């Protein structure tokens, strides 16, 4: 017996666009079958095969051709060359508002879209109740779409797309505008859709979401398929490339230090974590006064590391330059998961609360925060370093960097919860002559860093 046809097959797909602004010139190029002088390829000879019941993630930077590819696979755009075969009913969530009439209400748009997807008229009213419940936009379901926020449009679009008996679900970055609770509900549905044998194409800039939903991924770069394989491997290659960690072919690699030491017998495995370099273009906010210029991790031997593991003693270094005289600066960080949830963090306030440091203008300084890295579930995480001035309860935010360093966790032993702890004996620190416990700050600031 022959094997079943793949859900989606694309061979040699190329899409060429013209930058020519003159409409007559564009018409002449079409009629004369000539290539426009200012043509560029959004996609070049891309091959994809998606099996039935498979979840395929697509990653790549803005402008890499992800949305163009999805539009072609969904049938809303024709390729310049190449062949496309779709075997199964496909529902696509692409651009916000696509297929909607802004003057119609949510209910009217849902009815029209359900009919366009081929839902029988006798079943549409029943589906509308389920669509309204999933979208959960309250009275706005009876209001014109032009009054909706982008998040409400995303809710309606997703709710409609999952109630039309689709066998193939295509999801672009549309979920990025929804709130965290709605995203969680959508991800839960996609997992159920997969478990029931549905085929999924998922595009997101969040590697943690892609790895949580998909087993396989492709990486598009400037319209070319750069990689195709196991999800975590492709995401790691993409993240390394974006952070300048990829090496030329044949280049020697070195194992990061202190990787095999300290395996916790309670967990049985280390839960490897790949560490990106500091993203100098990461989002920032604050009132100014200083600027974070570098952020990195080191091991117990003060060596920078590109890979760590759960239970490992590490130090987070936050380097900055003062743009004015700073009184009582506090260096801190937060580690967040791929949904933006704060997992843990700390700062240097307690180490210097009795003698706050003063940093002179134009001086470089560094905050060092040493801690034992907990075990984390598979996925993507980000360090957000910050510098404030004042106290923990009364301060001014100077510079806060979001997603400054990424962690990609693989082969984690943690299967439940957000953080796995290393449970070890507690050592009581010695006391000084006055009977007070001697405190050695694990977090401190050095001014005048070279």
Burial of 230 (0-12, 13-18, 19+ CB in 10 A): middle
User: CATH code at 362?
Assistant: 2.70.50.60
> Is this model's pTM higher than 0.85 or not?
no
> Is the confidence at residue 297, as pLDDT, over 60?
yes
Residue 12 in domain? no
> For residues 448 and 164, which has the higher predicted lDDT (pLDDT)?
164
Residue 173 in domain? no
pLDDT category, 37, cuts 50, 70, 90? low
pLDDT category, 192, cuts 50, 70, 90? confident
Least confident of 159-173, 175-189, 208-222, 286-300: 175-189
> Is the confidence at residue 176, as pLDDT, over 80?
no
* Residue-number span of the structural domain to which 300 is assigned: 273-431+442-447
Task: Please report how many Cα atoms fall inside a 13 Å half-sphere around the Cα of residue 416, on the Cβ side.
Answer: 0
Residue 332 in domain? yes
Residue 320 in domain? yes
Residue 23 in domain? no
CB 212 within 8 A of CB 412: no
CB count within 10 Å of CB 92 equals 23
Instruction: Report pLDDT for 219.
Output: 92
* Percent above pLDDT 70 for the chain: 78
Instruction: Report pLDDT for 213.
Output: 80
pLDDT category, 330, cuts 50, 70, 90? very high
CB 110 within 8 A of CB 118: no
State the chain's mean pLDDT as an integer: 79
Instruction: Report pLDDT for 379.
Output: 84
pLDDT category, 3, cuts 50, 70, 90? low
Q: Tens digits of per-residue pLDDT, 420-443?
A: 776 544 334 344 444 443 333 333
Tell how far CA 238 is from the center of its chain.
12
Residue 8 in domain? no
Instruction: Report pLDDT for 393.
Output: 72
Q: What is the count of structural domains for the chain? A: 1
Least confident of 266-275, 358-367, 399-408: 266-275
> For residues 245 and 252, which has the higher predicted lDDT (pLDDT)?
245
Residue 288 in domain? yes
Q: Tens digits of per-residue pLDDT, 60-107?
A: 887 888 888 988 998 888 998 999 999 988 888 776 666 788 899 999
Instruction: Report pLDDT for 272.
Output: 83
Residue 366 in domain? yes
pLDDT category, 23, cuts 50, 70, 90? low
Residue with tokens 């970055």: 173
């Amino acid at each position: 017996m022959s094997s079943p046809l793949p859900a989606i097959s694309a061979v040699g797909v190329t899409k060429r666009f013209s930058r020519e602004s003159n409409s007559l010139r564009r018409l002449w190029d079409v009629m004369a079958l000539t290539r426009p002088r200012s043509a560029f390829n959004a996609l070049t000879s891309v091959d994809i095969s998606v099996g039935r019941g498979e979840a395929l993630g697509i990653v790549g930077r803005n402008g890499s051709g992800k949305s163009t590819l999805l539009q072609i696979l969904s049938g809303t755009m024709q390729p310049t060359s190449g062949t496309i075969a779709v075997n199964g009913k496909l529902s696509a969530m692409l651009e916000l508002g696509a297929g909607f009439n802004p003057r119609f209400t949510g209910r009217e748009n849902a009815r029209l879209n359900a009919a366009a997807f081929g839902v029988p008229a006798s079943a549409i009213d029943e589906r509308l109740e389920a669509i309204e419940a999933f979208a959960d936009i309250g009275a706005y379901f009876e209001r014109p779409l032009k009054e909706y926020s982008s998040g409400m449009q995303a809710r309606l679009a997703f709710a409609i797309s999952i109630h039309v008996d689709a066998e193939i679900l295509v999801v672009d970055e549309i979920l990025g505008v929804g709130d965290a609770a709605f995203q969680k509900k959508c991800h839960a549905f996609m997992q159920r859709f997969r478990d029931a044998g549905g085929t999924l194409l998922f595009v997101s800039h969040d590697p943690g979401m892609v790895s949580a939903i998909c087993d396989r991924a492709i990486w598009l770069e400037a319209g070319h398929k750069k990689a195709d394989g196991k999800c975590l491997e492709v995401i790691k290659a993409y993240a390394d490339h974006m952070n300048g960690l990829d090496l030329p072919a044949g280049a020697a690699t070195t194992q990061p230090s202190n990787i095999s030491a300290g395996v916790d017998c309670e967990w049985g495995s280390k839960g490897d974590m790949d560490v990106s370099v500091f993203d100098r273009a990461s989002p920032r906010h604050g009132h100014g006064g200083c600027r974070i210029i570098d952020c990195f991790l080191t091991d117990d031997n003060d060596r920078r590391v590109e890979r760590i593991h759960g239970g490992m003693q590490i130090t987070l270094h936050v380097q900055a330059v003062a743009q004015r005289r700073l009184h009582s600066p506090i260096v801190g960080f937060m580690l967040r998961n791929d949904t933006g949830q704060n997992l843990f963090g700390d700062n240097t306030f307690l180490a210097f609360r009795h003698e706050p440091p003063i940093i002179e203008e134009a001086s470089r300084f560094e905050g060092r925060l040493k801690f034992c890295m907990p075990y984390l579930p598979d996925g993507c995480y980000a360090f957000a370093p910050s510098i404030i001035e004042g106290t923990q309860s009364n301060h001014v935010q100077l510079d806060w960097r979001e997603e400054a360093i990424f962690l990609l966790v693989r082969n984690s032993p943690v299967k439940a919860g957000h953080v796995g702890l290393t449970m070890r004996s507690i050592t009581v620190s010695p006391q000084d002559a006055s009977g007070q416990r001697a405190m050695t700050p694990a977090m401190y600031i050095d001014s005048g860093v070279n």
